[in-house]
Amino acid sequence: MSERLVVIGGDAAGMSAASQARRLKGPGELEIVAFERGHFSSYSACGIPYWVGGDVGTRDELIARSPEEHRERAIGLRMRTEVTEVDVPGQRVLARDLEAGTETWTGFDKLVIATGARPKRPALPGIDAPGVHGVQTLDDGQALLDSLEGTPGRRAVVVGAGYIGVEMAEALLNRGYEVTLLHRGEQPMATLDPDMGRLVHRAMDGLGITTVASAAATKILTGEDGRVRAVATDAAEYPADVVVLGMGVVPETSLARAAGLPLGAHGGLLTDLAMRVRGHENIWAGGDCVEVLDLVSGRERYVPLGTHANKHGQVIGANVGGGYATFPGVVGTAVSKVCDLEIARTGLREKDAREVGLRFVTVTVESTSRAGYYPGAAPMTVKMLAERRTGRLLGVQIVGREGAGKRVDIAAVALTAGMTVEAMTALDLGYAPPFSPVWDPVLVAARKATAAVRAAG
Amino acid sequence: MSERLVVIGGDAAGMSAASQARRLKGPGELEIVAFERGHFSSYSACGIPYWVGGDVGTRDELIARSPEEHRERAIGLRMRTEVTEVDVPGQRVLARDLEAGTETWTGFDKLVIATGARPKRPALPGIDAPGVHGVQTLDDGQALLDSLEGTPGRRAVVVGAGYIGVEMAEALLNRGYEVTLLHRGEQPMATLDPDMGRLVHRAMDGLGITTVASAAATKILTGEDGRVRAVATDAAEYPADVVVLGMGVVPETSLARAAGLPLGAHGGLLTDLAMRVRGHENIWAGGDCVEVLDLVSGRERYVPLGTHANKHGQVIGANVGGGYATFPGVVGTAVSKVCDLEIARTGLREKDAREVGLRFVTVTVESTSRAGYYPGAAPMTVKMLAERRTGRLLGVQIVGREGAGKRVDIAAVALTAGMTVEAMTALDLGYAPPFSPVWDPVLVAARKATAAVRAAG
C-alpha cells in the first residue's frame, strides 16, 4: 500500500528530505507531494550576496535543482502554492494556489515541515519604502538588483552587521557603492566576542566600509518620490540611495504554532535526534525552522545555516524512507568573508560559556597562515576558550586573511570529539611552508591555552 | 647543584628542547651545552625547495634562530662541532671541533639526541660528480644554487618523486628548467595509493614536468669536464645539466647505534611517550632520528617532518626542565604542493591497512573547494578508507588545487579522535560559498564511505 509524504517548503531541507526518501522508496511505495510558495526550489540562499556583488553571474547558477528536475525524479513539487494550515489530528494540510487563488486539502501519512526562516523586519516608519530590501530569497535578490539598476545614486546603508550584513556590505562595495554599515552592538559580528569583533571593525574600515556602532535604525526617511533617501538613528541621519536589511532571521513557524506543535525558546520547532517533531510519530522538521542541540553547551540554539538544512534533509529522508539516521547537533561553526578578510567561529563565545555556568580561560594568539618566510603568509588572530580544571576546548574564533577561515574546522572536529586543549597540542596537522607555519596557528593557541588552564588551577 | 644538559644537534628538535628547558630552568640550575656540526642552527629544511625556487629570497629567512640568539638565551651552542662518541655509562660525549681539529669530552647529567636524518644516497657510479646535489641542509641548498648559476644548461633531472622530489621539480620549473622526474614506482608520490598518485602524475604532466615511472637510476654519466651530463636507467639516458637527489632520508643514528641505544625496524631511535630513549632514564631523543607511534596502525613508523621535530623538542624540553609532557604519536598527516597542485594524506594507505590486518572499504569522490558557482571553485578528489564493520576512519588522501590540501586536517583530527565515518557525516564544518560547497568534500566522502561500510556488511 502506497503512503503519501507531504513536504512543506521546497528549499534545502524539504527537497533534500524528499530526494533522499525517493532514493530509498520508489513511487509505487511512496507518493511525495511538496509545496513551495515561492518561484524557486532548492537554491543557495547563502549565494545571494555573491550574485548581488557580481561574483556569481546569474541567478540560475544558485539553483541546485529546478522544479522540473524534482518532478522528473517523481517528486510532486507544486510551486507558488502556500500551505496555510496543518491539521495534525486529521493528517492533512490546506494549500492555496497563489496564482489561481484556490485552496485544497491534501492528506498525508508522513509530513515534513521545512518552512525556513523569515528576516527580522522591525516596524520602522518607512520600512516598506521603495529602495529598502531584504535578501532572504532569490526574489529578494532580484528586487535588490533591479533597484540598484534603477537608481543612479551610489550610497548604500546596510542595517545589521551579522553574516548577511557584512556579506552584503562586501557585495555593494564590489558594485562600487559607498557603504555604511549600521549596527546596534559594540562591535560588528556579534557572533564573535567583542575583542575579535573589533578586529573585524578595523579591517572593514581598511576596506573602506564605514561601520557605525551603537546605531539602532529608528526611521527610514523617504524623498519626494517616496523612495528611501536616508536611515535615521537617534543620533544621526545616514543618506542612502539603497538600504539593505541584514538584521538576521527568525524561524518561520507560524503554521507549526497554529497547529500546536512544540516550539522552543527561540521560536523554532523542537525535534528529536531523528529530526522527528517531539511527540509526533509521523511529523519531521528540519532546516531554518527548527532549533538544534548545541553539543558544547547542551542547550537548544537557533542556527539557520544551509549546511545544517541539508544535513537535516538527509536525515529526515533516510528515516522517512525506512532507514535510520540522526542529527546529533551542532558545535556552532560559521565562516564568512568580507573581501579578503576571513572570519570564523565555532563553539562558545565568552558570554555563551558564562550563560551555562562554565568557568574558562581565554587566550589570543597572532600567527600567520603560512610559514612566515613563504610568500602570501598572512597574519591571523586565533582566540581560544578552554574550560578551567578539565582543559576541555570550548570555542575558537579566527579573524585573518586567506587561509584563516577554514582552519576553524580543526577546532570544530576537536569540539565534537570533546578534546582538551592539551590533547590538541599533539594534533598531527598538515604542515608544509606554503600551508602553515611549523606550528599551525590553532596549535599555538592550544599550547597557550594549555598553559593558561594550568596557571588558572 | 647545577646539572648539565648536553644536546647533540642544533636544529628543530634539539634547539626546541634546549629552549624549552631553558624557559623552565635558569642557568643557575641547568647548564646547557649543544653541539652542531654544520654552519647553521634552527632552520627550516622544509623551506629549502622554496629558497631554491626563488619564492624565498634569502637563506637567512629560513633561519628561525641564529647561534648568537641561542647563546643570548644562555644556551652554549658550539657550531661546527661534531659529536663522535656517546659514552652512556660514563655520561659523557666526545666532540670534535671541525675547524680546530681538537677533540674534547663533555660530561652530562641529561642528554638529548637530535641528530636528524641523512639523505639516501645510492652508491651509483658518478654520484659524487659535480652537478649532483642533495637538498637536506642549508649548505646543500647553497651548493645547488651555486651549481645552477655556474651552468648555462637548462635541463634538470630529479631522482625520486616523494615530497622533496616533487617540491624540487617545482623549484627547478620555477627557475626555468626543463624538468624530468625519475621514480622507481608505478606512480609518483608513493605516500599515496597508486590511484591517487596517478592524479598527481597527470597534473605534473600538465605543468610540463616529464615524469618517468619505473625508472631506477643506475648510473650518473659525466662529461669531459667531469660534470654530470646525464642520468642513466636500465632503459634510457636522461640528459642533465644538474641532478637533484630526492630519494628520501634515513635516521642519522650511527652515534646512537655505536652507543648501544635501542633502534627500531626503520633504524630510528625508540623512545617512550615522554620522548625518553627506552631503558635510559637520562637520555631523550627526538626529531628525524626517532621512530614514532602511528596511532592508526599501532606500529612504529619513520616520519621525518619538521612539525614533529618541533613537538618532540617541546616535550623533551618540558620533561628535562622538570615539567611533564608527552608525544602520543602521529596519524601520518602530510601536505605538499607542486605549483597549484595540492597533495595531502593522513592515516593509512590501502597497503598500510592490509599490512596490519585491517579489512576496509575505500571510496573516492570528486568535489570542489568552494560552492560550484563561486569563482575559483577548483576540483578536488578525496579518497577515504574506513574499517569494515566498525566504520572507523582509517585514512584520507586528497589531490586538488587551492583549498584542497589543508582539508586533510579535518580527517587528521577525526583519526586522532577515533571517529567513525558515520559520525563524520554530522561534523559541523565551516560553510559559506567562498569556502566550501554546502557539503564539504570531506563530508561527501564520509557519506559515501558510510554507505560502503553498510553495503560491505
Cβ-Cβ contacts under 8 Å, A48 against chain B: none
The span from the CA of A169 to the CA of B75, in Å, is 52
Asked if B408's CB is within 8 angstroms of A413's CB, the reply is no
* CATH topology agreement for domains B3-118+250-320 and B121-247: yes
- Cell of residue A122, nine digits: 522591525
* A403-441 residue pLDDT tens: 999 999 999 999 999 999 999 999 999 999 999 999 999
C-alpha triplet A199, A205, A210: angle, nearest 5°: 125
Cβ-Cβ contacts under 8 Å, A373 against chain B: 44, 47, 50, 56, 61-62
Q: What is the pLDDT of residue A254?
A: 98
Q: In what order do the strands lie in the sheet with A334-338?
A: A334-338, A341-347, A393-400, A379-387, A360-368
The span from the CA of B45 to the CA of B335, in Å, is 15
Q: Which CATH architecture has domain A3-118+250-320?
A: 3-Layer(bba) Sandwich (3.50)
* B141-170 residue pLDDT tens: 999 999 999 989 999 999 999 999 999 999
- Cell of residue B174, nine digits: 620555477
Rounded to an integer, the average pLDDT of A174-197 is 96
Q: What is the pLDDT of residue B188?
A: 95
Rounded to an integer, the average pLDDT of B244-271 is 97
Nearest to B374 among A55, A310, A327 (CB): A55
Nearest to B428 among A310, A406, A416 (CB): A416
Nearest CA in chain B to A437: B307
pLDDT beyond 80 at B215: yes
pLDDT beyond 70 at B439: yes
Task: Outline where DSSP puts E strands in B120-224.
Answer: 132-133, 155-159, 178-182, 210-212, 217-222
Nearest CA in chain B to A424: B413
Q: Are the C-beta atoms of residues A443 and A422 closer than 8 Å to each other?
A: no
Could you tell me the CA-to-CA distances from A29 to A204, A276, A311, B144 in Å, in that order? Answer: 55, 21, 24, 70
* A319-367 residue pLDDT tens: 999 999 999 999 999 999 999 999 999 999 999 999 999 999 999 999 9
The span from the CA of A263 to the CA of A274, in Å, is 17
Nearest CA-CA distance, residue B39 and chain A, Å: 20
Q: What is the pLDDT of residue B292?
A: 98
Write out the catalytic residue numbers of A: 46
Nearest to A413 among B12, B332, B427 (CB): B427
Q: Are the C-beta atoms of residues B356 and B298 closer than 8 Å to each other?
A: yes
pLDDT beyond 70 at A401: yes
Question: Quick one: pLDDT band at residue A30, thresholds 50, 70, 90?
Answer: very high
Q: Calculate Rg over the CA atoms of chain B.
A: 23
Q: What is the pLDDT of residue B253?
A: 98
Q: β-pairing, B92-97 with A132-133? A: unpaired
Active-site residue B339, yes or no? no
Q: What is the pLDDT of residue B36?
A: 97
ipTM, two decimals:
0.96
Superfamily designation of domain B341-452: FAD/NAD-linked reductase, C-terminal dimerisation domain (3.30.390.30)
Between B1 and A134, residue with greater pLDDT:
A134
Interface test with B, best of A168, A192, A341, A406 (most B CBs within 10 A): A406
Q: Where are the domains of chain B?
A: 3-118+250-320, 121-247, 341-452
Rounded to an integer, the average pLDDT of A122-126 is 94
The span from the CA of B250 to the CA of B257, in Å, is 14
Nearest CA in chain B to A410: B410
pLDDT beyond 80 at B251: yes
Average pLDDT for chain B: 97
Rounded to an integer, the average pLDDT of A85-89 is 98
Nearest to B431 among A332, A335, A371 (CB): A335
Could you give the percent of chain A with pLDDT greater than 90? 99
Query: What is the CATH code of the structural domain delimited by B121-247?
Result: 3.50.50.60
Nearest CA in chain B to A325: B422
The span from the CA of B320 to the CA of B312, in Å, is 12
- Cell of residue A197, nine digits: 569583533
pLDDT beyond 70 at B1: no
CATH fold for domain A344-456? Enolase-like; domain 1 (3.30.390)
Rounded to an integer, the average pLDDT of A101-126 is 96
Cβ-Cβ contacts under 8 Å, B373 against chain A: 44, 47, 50, 56, 61-62
Average pLDDT for chain A: 97
The span from the CA of A106 to the CA of A383, in Å, is 52
DSSP string of A279-314, one letter each residue:
T-TTEEE-STTB-EEBTTT-SEE----HHHHHHHHH
Could you tell me the CA-to-CA distances from B419 to A240, B293, B299, B422 in Å, in that order? Answer: 51, 19, 19, 8
HSE toward the beta carbon, residue B172, CA cutoff 13 A: 34
pLDDT beyond 90 at A1: no
Could you give the percent of chain A with pLDDT greater than 70? 100
Asked if A431's CB is within 8 angstroms of B416's CB, the reply is no
Asked if A373's CB is within 8 angstroms of B405's CB, the reply is no
- Cell of residue A235, nine digits: 543620533
Rounded to an integer, the average pLDDT of B278-289 is 98
pLDDT beyond 70 at B252: yes
Rounded to an integer, the average pLDDT of B370-391 is 97
